[in-house]
């Protein structure tokens, strides 16, 4: 038996290799437009509703926390500013990523995994069709697209939820909440959030595809693959999020600093 760290490294290497293959295959003709549209529609349909439902309480929790914090500090007029900042910079990409990985990624992994154990992937290769180009690329692009769009949705719904809780339930002033929007947040925050969502979508789909294409050992293998793909994706997402955030603070100076 090969030593544990060596195997883990080999897995990482193969995962990265698949990522490179996907990038390479993206630019190879013919491009699978139909599959891309189908997959984008599919991923959107399984993620939109849960994302919106998660985003509302998420925005609310942030608003609640900030509301009491700002009151203690006597900075109530900045509640809106802080909650927008938190939602757009961090909460929104993370919620998007969790949903794309949990709902979209697990579906991709289960789909590819069951195709793998039914020998469909083998059959496709033997028919001279590259499954990465035909199946994986459209899924990765679809996940990236949907993640970016979902990120916008979560931002809007999250800010809306924050507004509702702050103004209606905590008795904040609507004018102060809205007026302070741009006190701390700036446009690059939104760009950063969208870029994060894009990267998270790609990671979620590539990990799901990798686990799905390497599923083995019958139906149980597919279940295991889905399980692993979700766990691995979450680990990678939070790590990537940390790195991206660190880079962002180096590149973009905070407003008024």
Partner 1 sequence: MRVEGLTKSFGRQVIWSDVTLTLPPGEISVLLGPSGTGKSVFLKSLVGLLTPERGSIVVRDVDLVTCGEKQMYEIRKLYGVLFQDGALFGSMTIFDNIAFPLREHTRKSENEIRDIVTEKMEMVGLSGAESKLPGEISGGMRKRAGLARALVLEPEIVLFDEPDSGLDPVRVAYLNQLIVDLNARTDATFLIVTHDIGTARTVPDNLGLLFRRELVMFGPREQLLTSTDPVVEQFLNGRREGPIGMAEEKDAAQVEAELASLNEDDGRPEGASGPSGAPGGGVPPQLEPSDDVPPRRAVDRRQARVREMLHTLPEAAQEAIRASLDEPGRTGAAGPAGSGPDRDGSDPGAQGDGAGRGEADRGADRGDGGQGDAGRGDADRGARRDPGRGDAGRGDAGRGDADRGDAGRGDADRDGGGGR
CB of 118 to partner 1, least distance (A): 6
* Candidate list 86, 106, 115, 237; residue touching partner 1; CB under 8 A: 115
Interaction of residue 123 with partner 1, rule CB under 8 A? yes
137 contacts 19 by C-beta, under 8 angstroms = no
Cβ–Cβ < 8 Å for 186, 81: no
Contact flag: residue 116 with partner 1 (CB under 8 A): no
Q: In terms of CB distance, is 129 or 178 closer to partner 1? A: 129
DSSP-derived secondary structure letter, 77: G
Binding test (CB under 8 A) with partner 1, winner from 31, 44, 77, 114:
114
Nearer to partner 1, 67 or 131 (CB): 131
Q: How far is CA 242 from CA 31, 125, 170, 229, 236, in A?
A: 34, 38, 32, 20, 10
- How far apart, in whole angstroms, are the C-alpha atoms of residue 150 and residue 28? 28
Residue placing its CB nearer to partner 1 in the complex, 214 or 241: 214
Q: Copy the structure tokens of residue 138.
A: 């459209």
- From the number of C-beta atoms within 10 Å of its C-beta (0-12, 13-18, 19+), residue 3 rates as exposed
Segment 125-164, which members bind partner 1 (CB under 8 A)? 125-130, 134
- Return the number of the residue (92 or 133) whose C-beta is nearest partner 1: 133
Residue numbers of the site for partner 1 (CB under 8 A)? 114-115, 118-120, 122-130, 134
């Amino acid at each position: 038996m090969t030593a544990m760290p060596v195997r883990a490294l080999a897995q990482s290497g193969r995962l990265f290799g698949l990522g490179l293959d996907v990038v390479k295959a993206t630019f190879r003709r013919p491009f699978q437009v139909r599959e891309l549209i189908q997959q984008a529609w599919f991923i959107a349909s399984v993620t939109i509703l849960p994302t919106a439902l998660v985003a509302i309480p998420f925005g609310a929790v942030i608003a609640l926390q900030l509301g009491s914090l700002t009151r203690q500090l006597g900075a109530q007029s900045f509640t809106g500013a802080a909650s927008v900042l938190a939602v757009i910079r961090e909460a929104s990409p993370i919620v998007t990523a969790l949903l794309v990985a949990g709902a979209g990624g697990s579906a991709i992994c289960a789909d590819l995994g069951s195709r793998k154990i039914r020998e469909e992937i083998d059959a496709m290769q033997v028919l001279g069709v590259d499954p990465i180009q035909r199946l994986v690329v459209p899924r990765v692009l679809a996940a990236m697209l949907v993640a970016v769009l979902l990120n916008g949705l979560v931002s809007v719904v999250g800010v809306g939820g924050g507004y509702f809780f702050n103004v209606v339930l905590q008795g904040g002033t609507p004018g102060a909440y809205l007026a302070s929007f741009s006190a701390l947040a700036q446009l690059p925050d939104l760009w950063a959030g969208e870029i994060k969502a894009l990267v998270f979508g790609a990671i979620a789909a590539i990990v799901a595809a990798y686990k799905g294409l390497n599923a083995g050992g019958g139906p149980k293998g597919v279940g295991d693959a889905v399980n692993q793909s979700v766990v691995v994706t979450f680990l990678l997402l939070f790590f990537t999020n940390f790195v991206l955030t660190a880079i962002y603070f180096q590149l973009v100076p905070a407003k008024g600093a």
